[in-house]
Chain A
């Protein structure tokens, strides 16, 4: 994993963790958590730690946008497009669950 890849991945992980921590329901929190686990699984569990210094906001919408864009950026680092779409779909479902 190159440093740019690790940075993008770390950003996505941090946003997902924040979203899970601030979710309104247990189900939504669990849904975010599963997105995070899926992301880790795709990287063979070799991922950087969550670093709250990477993200300076705790607004839900902002976190969602940063997470989604970071996951999209992972395509530039060799992640399969289909896997990225699946993760984005999971993230969208979790966000809808949280909003609902």
Chain B
């Protein structure tokens, strides 16, 4: 995810920005102490740092190029006539992208090889640079035009532009600080890059950052947990997880009904068992059981002819049978309750998505009632009663209302918590403007 890799990049750069006296950090102590490293080793460290820096430069440029189509600058002047297209002005991000490209092309450093990226170095300074280069390599497939990746919003793209700008500024500050290292090559056109980065950072800071970008990007594929059933409640969690993974394919209406039934049962049974440990969780799960009961009633008149979901329905049945086999006296630990809460949130989201998209996909259809015979027409032949159905299908509307208002969780715990992203962004800004860290209160020792 961009959140993790971006935070790693910013935190490590902020740490480097707080380090001065670079010669000492590569092992040269002048006359205060004997040198730890030889001249050749220091020159080698310098080359390594330049290679790692090149990786960050490449990431900055590629990311700036990737987000450029999504960015609408906060200082763009729109034409008064909305029917006339705005001519694209040279936005700050364009200048930054061009400056980054020129600086990258002018640098003679090579990109670090995989061996360099993965081999730890004995000097902490070089090791920090290696971590930064690793983060840049990992962050490459978070933002850059990955196939199938969703489009960014303008606010998200501007947030990334702000990040790229602050990282570029950090590279320039560090470049000046490292100028006395042997074999060091200063960044070409660093003044131009610095001004472009400053303009881009100011432009990004005019709007409010959208930190949901931190959830964007590559994440490992979820896999089913194989092997024998885990003992106790862990086995139920395992089955729920596997069901969620198998739900990636659209289930048939029958399998969806089986899954919904299992979720209702699991919630109701767990609520009774969790009552002693966590009353609030038990209440939540009772509410969830009643939601699934409503959904189940609506789904009785929904059918389908295509779809899968057999494996998911099997896992759902396994979850119920495993839960039933656990003695009712077995206590549900608070940690297990949290696990179930997380899992239920994901399952609810997925089922809500399936139900909400059912209309657009046209995979599910609504059953019709049998035609009743009109016996009160006083004719010889009784005809079928005519019924008029409104255009808006009532069942579909009710289904979508349940999915939207009762299954969807308000964005609370996991997705909206971007504290790491906030902290690392604040850290790199503080390090850039050279603000000292808040001092710890003095400790009294006797």
Contact = CB atoms under 8 A, between A and B. Distances in A.
Interface string B287-323: 0010001001100110111000000000000000000
A7 B370 contact: yes
Contact of A45 (B261, B305, B370): B305
Given A30-B261, A37-B254, A41-B254, A47 B370 contact: no
Interface stretch (A49-57, A62-70, A74-82, A85-93): A49-57
Contact of A49 (B252, B289, B304, B368): B368
B370 A26 contact: no
A21 interface: yes
A7 B269 CA distance: 36
B370 A51 contact: yes
Contacts of B303: 40, 45-47
Interface string B255-286: 00110010011001100000000000000000
Q: What is the predominant secondary structure among interface residues of chain A facing chain B? A: helix
A87 to B, nearest CB: 15
A13 B299 CA distance: 13
Contacts of A17: 297, 300
A30 B420 CA distance: 44
Contacts of A7: 370
A26 B297 contact: no
B366 to A, nearest CB: 8
A9 to B, nearest CB: 9
A40 B297 CA distance: 14
Contacts of A48: 367-370
Interface size class on chain A is 20 to 34
Nearest to B265: A30
B296 A3 contact: no
Contacts of A3: 370
A67 B258 CA distance: 21
A3 B384 CA distance: 12
Contacts of B252: 45
A50 B301 contact: yes
A27 B265 contact: yes
Contacts of B351: none
Contacts of A40: 254, 303
Contacts of B254: 37, 40-41, 45
A49 B265 CA distance: 24
B380 interface: no
10 tightest A-B CB contacts, nearest first: A49-B367, A26-B268, A49-B301, A51-B369, A45-B303, A49-B369, A48-B370, A30-B265, A10-B370, A33-B261
30 contacts: A3-B370, A10-B369, A13-B300, A17-B300, A21-B297, A26-B264, A26-B265, A26-B268, A26-B269, A27-B265, A30-B264, A30-B265, A33-B261, A33-B296, A34-B258, A36-B300, A37-B254, A37-B258, A37-B261, A40-B303, A45-B303, A46-B303, A47-B303, A47-B367, A48-B370, A49-B301, A49-B366, A49-B368, A50-B301, A51-B369
